[in-house]
Amino acid sequence: MQITKREFLKRLGLGGAALAGGAALGDQAVKAKHALPAGSCGDPDNVVFGKNIFPIEHTMTDGPSCVLKDGKILQPAREIPIFHTTDVVVVGGGSAGFAAAVAAARTGAKVALVERYGSLGGLFTNGMVLIMLCTSAREGKNFRLVTKGIVEEFAKRARALGDWVCTGPVPPNRHWQPTVDPEGAKYLMDKMVAEEKIDMFFHCWGVDTIQDGNKVLGIVFESKQGRQAILAKQVVDCTGDADVLFQAGGDYRQITHGIGHEVRLANMDRITAKKPPKGKPGRWPTRSNEANKSAWWGNLGIGPKGNGLDVRDLTAAEIDFRKRWWEHVAKMRQEPGWEQVFIANTCSQIGPRASRLVDAEFVVSRAVLRGDYKPDDVVGWLGADGRHAAFPVPYRQLVPKKVDNLLCAGRCLGTGDTIDTFRLICPCFVTGQAAGTAAALAAQAGVTPRALPYSTLRQALEKGGVYLG
């Protein structure tokens, strides 16, 4: 409940005269209190915070509450305020969403980026998966970078922030798979988003779509201020779990996968032991695996298989992982030479590797890769990852069947056995850039992404520095 300064003083037994004379509070305090805005509800005894606390207008009212009727919870119809109108809205600010938003803006669209947490990068930064794999094609004994465009620019700019932020480029005969400091990555993503004048909205959870039949007209998000809507000509789903596609009634396949949980240890440069103690199971690193010599990032293996959408599975995994890490590091600290190692932080975004996989117009499976696969709608390349050589990504893989004005990118892409390549960080940047570029072009041309001429898209991707083979 908000009360005015006058009411507050009254309750303390201090009238206006006492305040004016400074009788009970002291002259210094009274002076500061006169600077409070009229009607302030700040604590008059708190000269530090008092001047920052004052009532503001209610920005919106939420609709009527749900009712319980015949054992069912019913939600009455309500009007949802329009919060924003734009050309392209990207939902989810992970690697894919970041690249999609930047690409759409660089293609000339007005862009909004909606993210449920307070920083960009998704599993890459908040999930603390810091190594960008799958970047290059093998050419004889050498490697050639194929994940180009925004992902290459990002890695080079991360490196330019300092050699402690990102592991360096290696000569052409080695694979560059940069490991990036999570705070450096978040800082750089914020900067690049601001450079492109993208409307960034943190703390907004996309919960519904606005539709005309199968055509998506925008999204509804939930925040501390209740439900609000963003109208857009095109929507890009980069939620990792295909939330928007699900809300729009699109088809998908749901899978379980190993849920992971990353951690960062600090003081790695203070370990005096040369190797892990004999017979010790688990992760006993003796030095940093990051550019920063003090830090070590890693996980406890693939983790339990679980439903990455189920709050019970996710809650159990969070608690279990944190407990295991705490006990592991507590043992570590008892070993001679390891006393100073501590957990700098555990990830703030748990890692379901995959959940919903979009039913797209075309899906690159391993069988496709084994065949004579030469798509005529290439929107980028993914690097070799040990299981296969580098290969091109078709535009159709971003286009969901059934739903219009929606493109899907990142780890929710494609069904089946290539998901373990598509879900890696660099591939997510690549498919994100392609989706953002296509969404901007479709918005400008007033066509559905399905009807967008490939030649126009190819030209824009070339301009965006994407490797197309």
Nearer to ligand FAD, 86 or 239 (CB): 239
The structure tokens listed for 14 are: 């201090």
Among 9, 47, 109, 115, binds ligand FAD (CB under 6 A): 115
Among 178, 184, 218, 240, binds ligand FAD (CB under 6 A): 240
Binding track over 293-332 against ligand FAD, x by CB under 6 A: ------x---------------------------------
Residue (of 425, 417, 366, 415) closest to 254 by Cα position: 415
Start-end of H helices in 196-278: 243-247
Of 198-237, binders to ligand FAD (CB under 6 A) are 205-206
Q: Virtual CA dihedral for 184, 188, 190, 195, nearest 10 degrees?
A: 160
Residues contacting ligand FAD: total by CB under 6 A: 37
User: Among 8-16, 122-130, 145-153, 210-218, which window interacts with ligand FAD (CB under 6 A)?
Assistant: 122-130
Query: Are the C-beta atoms of residues 342 and 266 closer than 8 Å to each other?
Result: yes
Nearer to ligand FAD, 44 or 427 (CB): 427
CB of 386 to ligand FAD, least distance (A): 12
CB of 320 to ligand FAD, least distance (A): 14
For residue 29, give every residue at least 6 positions away whose Cβ sits within 8 Å of its Cβ, in sequence order, or none.
22, 44, 45, 47
Q: Does 41 bind ligand FAD (CB under 6 A)?
A: no
Amino acid at 462: E
User: Among 13-21, 128-136, 189-197, 461-469, which window interacts with ligand FAD (CB under 6 A)?
Assistant: 128-136
Of 408-437, binders to ligand FAD (CB under 6 A) are 410-411, 423-425, 428
Among 97, 380, 394, 414, binds ligand FAD (CB under 6 A): 97
What 3-state DSSP class applies to 300? coil
How is residue 167 annotated by DSSP?
A: P
Among 42, 44, 50, 94, binds ligand FAD (CB under 6 A): 94
Nearer to ligand FAD, 115 or 152 (CB): 115
Query: Are the C-beta atoms of residues 283 and 341 closer than 8 Å to each other?
Result: no
CB of 423 to ligand FAD, least distance (A): 4
Q: Is 268 left (phi over 0), alpha (psi -120 to 50) or beta?
A: alpha
CB of 426 to ligand FAD, least distance (A): 6
User: Among 88-96, 105-113, 226-234, 274-282, which window interacts with ligand FAD (CB under 6 A)?
Assistant: 88-96
**Helix H or strand E segment including 218:** strand 215-223
CB of 103 to ligand FAD, least distance (A): 13
Residue (of 434, 429, 430) closest to 95 by Cα position: 429
Query: Are the C-beta atoms of residues 295 and 266 closer than 8 Å to each other?
Result: yes
Q: Does 263 bind ligand FAD (CB under 6 A)?
A: no
For residue 15, give every residue at least 6 positions away whose Cβ sits within 8 Å of its Cβ, in sequence order, or none.
9
Q: How many C-beta atoms surround the C-beta of residue 427 within 10 A?
A: 30
CB of 435 to ligand FAD, least distance (A): 11
CB of 206 to ligand FAD, least distance (A): 3
For 103-138, the DSSP string reads: HHHHTT--EEEE-SSSSSBTTTTTT---B----EEE
Enumerate binding residues for ligand FAD (CB under 6 A): 91-97, 114-117, 122-124, 127, 129, 131-133, 205-206, 238-241, 243, 260, 262, 299, 351, 353, 410-411, 423-425, 428
